[in-house]
Structure 1
Amino acid sequence: MSIITTATALLADIAVETDRTDAVQAFVKQETILVQITTADGLQGTGYAYTIGTGGTSVLSLLQEHLLPLLVGEDARNVEALWQRLFATTRATTTGAITSLALAAVDTAVWDLRCKRAGEPLWRLAGGHRREVPVYDTEGGWLHLGTDDLVKSALAAQQAGWAGVKIKVGKPHVFEDAERLRAVREAVGPSLHIMTDANQSQTISSALQLAAALEPYDPYWLEEPMPADDLSGHARLARSTRIPVAVGESMYSIMQFRNYLEAGAASIVQVDAARIGGITPWLKVAHMAESHNVMVCPHFLMELHVSLVAAVPNGKFVEYIPQLRAVTRSEMTVRDGVALAPDEPGIGIDWDMDAIDNRRVS
């Protein structure tokens, strides 16, 4: 009864809810790739992945032309076997974003089926460490926002009991970044965490200067200071600053995380379930980080990541960037600064398929 009978995919464009800019790009739109898998007993699982402006049609093509036909006739309960089979057929295009995103869309659908068949929510079936997860805000910290706006948003998050706020860095002059951080720190005091994110905009020399300029204001971490390929640069920076270095949103394989952890180049792991290839490899990275005594604070996808962070003991924070409200019937619950992982069977996202069809890309 758990045999897969149909597997389909579609692409929908979801407009951003607010202007989002960082040191290297703007969030243009969320190209959302959805996969729906149905089994012989009529159970249906829905999974997804995303890009932020380009590449969605390439992911869709890989799914429709190569991966989805391989699922029909397979047992949906065999999560690892399915992931490994699809990965094996794409070895010529790994490691890379297009393949990982396609695998993620399938894998999250398979996990949705797995949870529904078990009658359990994702956070429990994936580990069940706790249901409540602290939240930090990114929406009030984009690079184009002025200092007054940064302060206002940080104070609002603090008043709401949130754990922290993220401020984008990477202004033309390092003193501008330092002044923005100084203003927020002086406004909120020492208790609120302030995360900083350079979005891979720095060289090793500028990253060293940036870290030195930000250190007096006690940032909780410095995220993606340099391109993700620069393992040695991140290791050098981590040895040179007391600010924890956070990486992971631009990594697409388990081995990349292993190399960073073994080199001491990552103090916080920000593994993204879509970009790593789904829930199956996400959990492996999280447990590997746990073996290095490193916490996991995933990038984006709060509607999915709240359940994964709740599943593992080293899950620390969920990043608040709402993006699915236009295509779901409900949204992530946040109370007194903590997010609640959905308790319904499945991955916890209540899709509005009519709203998705209205945004469908032919």
Structure 2
Amino acid sequence: MSIITAATAHLVDIEVEKERTDAVQSFVKQETIFLDLTTSDGLTGTGYAYTIGTGGSSVLALLRDHLLPRLAGQDARNVEGLWQELFSLTRATTVGAITSLALAAVDTALWDLRCKRAAEPLWRLAGGYRQEVPLYDTEGGWLHLSTEELVRGAVEARTNGWPGVKIKVGKPHVAHDVERLRAVRDAVGPETHIMTDANQSQSLSSAVRLAAALEPYGPFWLEEPLPADDVSGHARLARSTSVPIAVGESLYSPTQFRQYLESGAASVVQVDVARVGGITPWLKVAHLAETFNVMVCPHFLMELHVSLAAAIPNGRYVEYIPQLRAVTRTEIEVRAGHAVAPDEPGIGIDWDRDAMDDRRVA
């Protein structure tokens, strides 16, 4: 038996490591909701979710007021059953970001326990396809950076053996986006994958124009060109261009991903553990994408996503944005442009509890 004897949650603010801007927002801080589950067999599992500046206290309140009280006395081995029970309890507020983030904090803690109980790392217990996944760099591609800075970052990534880089698009004039992409392409050559990300800033007509303008420079994908709930718009855009369309960071349930895949609106799935409600639904989305022969390149949370992308056959890339270094003792291993999934039992993140306590706000 592995009965949950204690369930606690708290909120930690993690400062951003560098200025991060895109076409619609800035990354203010990472509000990180941590959750610890202790079980009768002497194990503790830690899960987490995040926001980029607002809403963290609301997630914490949902956990403390409604979800955590339901966990006491439950068998932590019943991961799917517990997820469904908590989802049903919150049905009045699903599907949405606050509820999905709260469910994710619980679910990742349950998976941490599952892996520790089995003495296996997450990448193996979740599928075990391989241990290394290619990396692409986002930190050198933010919208406020000059063309010269973009080029410098992309060349550095290529020199270090990284196969891909991302640059943000959505400047006031398409010509500026084109100039930036052209400069990076000229600098890194034809073999480096260049991802572009519009962060939901476009209308359908402007996205069609943007994709056509970028197309000659071979972007690996165009990410979130339209508002995330515009499935039909993404489908129409996808039919108008050879540039693959990437979506997923702003989708909050497997059903939403199914709608995109069924309509041919996504060639790249960027499912985010925290925003989709945890590892349990993440794996469902990943395997659903596999049935459509669509690659999975998860959004953010590289310290967790490296293990999940390694677990599945269609895990194509992990995004490099280091954001947990202030509250961890170790970083993910990078080897020849690939992230290496950790072999330690659990979800593989070495938390620094003292640093977390120093940044605790609730």
How many residues were matched structurally?
A: 362
What is the aligned partner in structure 2 of residue 135 from structure 1? Answer: 135
Which amino acid is the alignment partner of residue 187 of structure 1?
A
Provide TM-score, normalisation by structure 2. 1.00
The SS at the match of 1:30 is strand
1:283 aligns with 2:283: yes
C-alpha distance in structure 2 between counterparts of 1:339 and 1:329, whole Å = 17
The SS at the match of 1:334 is strand
Which amino acid is the alignment partner of residue 126 of structure 1?
A
Per-residue deviation, 1:145: 0.1
Per-residue deviation, 1:206: 0.4
Runs of 4+, deviation exceeding 2 Å: none
C-alpha distance in structure 2 between counterparts of 1:229 and 1:66, whole Å = 28
The SS at the match of 2:134 is strand
What is the aligned partner in structure 1 of residue 96 from structure 2? Answer: 96
Per-residue deviation, 1:64: 0.3
Per-residue deviation, 1:163: 1.2
What is the aligned partner in structure 2 of residue 361 from structure 1? Answer: 361
What is the aligned partner in structure 1 of residue 248 from structure 2? Answer: 248
Per-residue deviation, 1:191: 0.6
C-alpha distance in structure 1 between counterparts of 2:204 and 2:92, whole Å = 32
Which amino acid is the alignment partner of residue 319 of structure 1?
E
Per-residue deviation, 1:274: 0.2
What is the aligned partner in structure 2 of residue 147 from structure 1? Answer: 147
The SS at the match of 2:249 is coil
Per-residue deviation, 1:335: 1.1
Q: What are the superposed Cα offsets for residues 258-282 of structure 1, whole Å, 9 maximum, x if unpaired? A: 0000000000000000000000000
1:156 aligns with 2:156: yes
What is the aligned partner in structure 2 of residue 321 from structure 1? Answer: 321
What is the aligned partner in structure 2 of residue 30 from structure 1? Answer: 30
What is the aligned partner in structure 1 of residue 21 from structure 2? Answer: 21
Per-residue deviation, 1:309: 0.1
C-alpha distance in structure 1 between counterparts of 2:183 and 2:76, whole Å = 52
The SS at the match of 2:250 is coil
What is the aligned partner in structure 1 of residue 44 from structure 2? Answer: 44
What is the aligned partner in structure 2 of residue 167 from structure 1? Answer: 167
What is the aligned partner in structure 2 of residue 65 from structure 1? Answer: 65
Q: What are the superposed Cα offsets for residues 122-146 of structure 1, whole Å, 9 maximum, x if unpaired? A: 0000000000110000000000000
Which amino acid is the alignment partner of residue 165 of structure 1?
V
Q: What are the superposed Cα offsets for residues 187-229 of structure 1, whole Å, 9 maximum, x if unpaired? A: 1110100000000000001000100110010000000000001
Per-residue deviation, 1:292: 0.2
C-alpha distance in structure 1 between counterparts of 2:128 and 2:41, whole Å = 27
Per-residue deviation, 1:20: 0.2
Per-residue deviation, 1:41: 1.8
Q: What are the superposed Cα offsets for residues 151-173 of structure 1, whole Å, 9 maximum, x if unpaired? A: 00000000111010000000000
What is the aligned partner in structure 2 of residue 193 from structure 1? Answer: 193
1:80 aligns with 2:80: yes
Q: What are the superposed Cα offsets for residues 39-76 of structure 1, whole Å, 9 maximum, x if unpaired? A: 01220000000000000000000000000010000000
C-alpha distance in structure 2 between counterparts of 1:188 and 1:62, whole Å = 47
Provide TM-score, normalisation by structure 1. 1.00
What is the aligned partner in structure 2 of residue 269 from structure 1? Answer: 269
Identity between Structure 1 and Structure 2 (%): 77
Which amino acid is the alignment partner of residue 191 of structure 2?
S
The SS at the match of 2:99 is helix
1:208 aligns with 2:211: no
C-alpha distance in structure 2 between counterparts of 1:336 and 1:17, whole Å = 24
Which amino acid is the alignment partner of residue 38 of structure 1?
T
C-alpha distance in structure 1 between counterparts of 2:74 and 2:57, whole Å = 26
What is the aligned partner in structure 1 of residue 181 from structure 2? Answer: 181
Which amino acid is the alignment partner of residue 207 of structure 2?
A
RMSD: 0.4
Per-residue deviation, 1:35: 0.4
